[in-house]
Structure 1
């Protein structure tokens, strides 16, 4: 989380003091500890399923590393009491969880290699929900990995939408929405965000021959096909 705060606000600068929202905590609820230690009043952890490790001793160890007081840690009898004590909520219904949050209720949003896993048909609506819940002036920081999650290349672009978006592929564990970095930026801008920062990590040249790409992707520019990952910081304008 610290890297995202530095990216959004500048190294060493104090973050907001309200609510922090993490998209896709995966198997770890430790952001509840790091958000508390960073000065946030609470945190919301949103995922598409209940995949987090609920080991209390591991959570206590993370809390000690975050600098949370030993007497506070000692009163936690379960993960649920620990989360409540840190004013943290773990929500596991994806976009429906986002829709349950109040307008203008969150100060900072971040994710780490998660946005590429949101279903393609839900993506624009999901980004719009993040903007809705963010307070005016709030910032959203994300690391997005565009590579396939097997060979760390762009082999995912070899498959047509009909097959890739089928139930078999979307439940496979390696599904990505295959949006280009420009598609992601367009979604943020269409939702009403202002892009503050965009940093691209590139291959030196396209790694999959255009003729091997699915028909849907053959018109992508070399500019898009050489981006392997990127960092984006977006802000909800005031007013």
Structure 2
């Protein structure tokens, strides 16, 4: 799987009532749509070992933990607007580390599913290969990963976002140890009207949290890639 999260899949998830199954901790925004898109792929899993990377005060794990063994891989150090103190969720075990460090606390082939929402975009380019390798390492053979990744797109992609897009695409399509789950869709990082995106008031609200992106937010849409792959 490699495509942008699009309105039809979000509307299908809403029609199916998935919104009522995920704790309503947010106003409706891109993260809500990312949650829905990821949850739609995971909600029917039973008796699995599932880990969220950088889950913080997770909105998805509480529901998945009712039928699975769930883990939150999160240092709780406040990075990238995450929680600065430990958040405990019923039925979820916290593992206080970061993927990409090859920390032995995360054992090889531990999880059937690893996923993240709005995390991978914070992994800088030089560190992405280690993040991906560690992600694969902790997956069981046949295990799957899903990552919803924030991107800013305009009608004319910049080199930065084009390079990011290509890096993510190669991670899913050009490795011998991974195979895509689902279709390979998006061909270029340019905004189209069918993409799920952040409402303008949410974009405005981010001004005080990360003001360095204010100029970009006025000329680009905040959207999300969804990538899915299985460890061979």
TM-score, normalised to structure 2, is 0.56
Corresponding residue of 1:195: 180
Residue pair 1:131, 1:191 contacting (<8 A) in 2 also: no
**Residues matched between the structures, number:** 164
**Structure 1 residues 42-96: Cα deviation after superposition (integer angstroms, max 9, x where no partner):** 32333583432759xxxxxxxxxxxxxxxxxxxxxxx5xx55x624114244522
34, 46, 50: which one aligns with 2:63: 34
Q: 1:19 to 1:179 in 2, by over 3 A?
A: farther
Tell me the secondary structure at the aligned position of residue 134 of structure 2: helix
Structure 2 unpaired stretches of 5+: 1-34, 194-220
Corresponding residue of 1:6: 40
How far residue 127 of structure 1 moved from its aligned partner, in angstroms, is: 0.7
Corresponding residue of 1:91: 96
Structure 1 unpaired stretches of 5+: 56-78, 160-176, 206-225
Corresponding residue of 1:121: 126
Instruction: Give structure 1 regions of 4+ aligned residues with deviation exceeding 6 angstroms.
Output: none
170, 175, 194: which one aligns with 1:186: 170
1:43 and 2:71 aligned: yes
Corresponding residue of 1:133: 138
For 1:7-26, what aligned pairs fall within 5 Å after superposition? 7=41, 14-26=44-56
For 1:91 and 1:155, locate their aligned partners in 2 and report how far apart those are by CA, in whole Å.
40
Higher relative contact order at CA 8 Å, sep ≥6: structure 1 or structure 2? Answer: 2
Structure with a larger share of its residues in helix? 1
How far residue 116 of structure 1 moved from its aligned partner, in angstroms, is: 1.4
Q: 1:98 to 1:123 in 2, by over 3 A?
A: farther
Task: Please provide the CA RMSD for this pair.
Answer: 3.7
Larger radius of gyration: 1
**Structure 1 residues 137-190: Cα deviation after superposition (integer angstroms, max 9, x where no partner):** 11111112221xxxx65999578xxxxxxxxxxxxxxxxx87432211212443
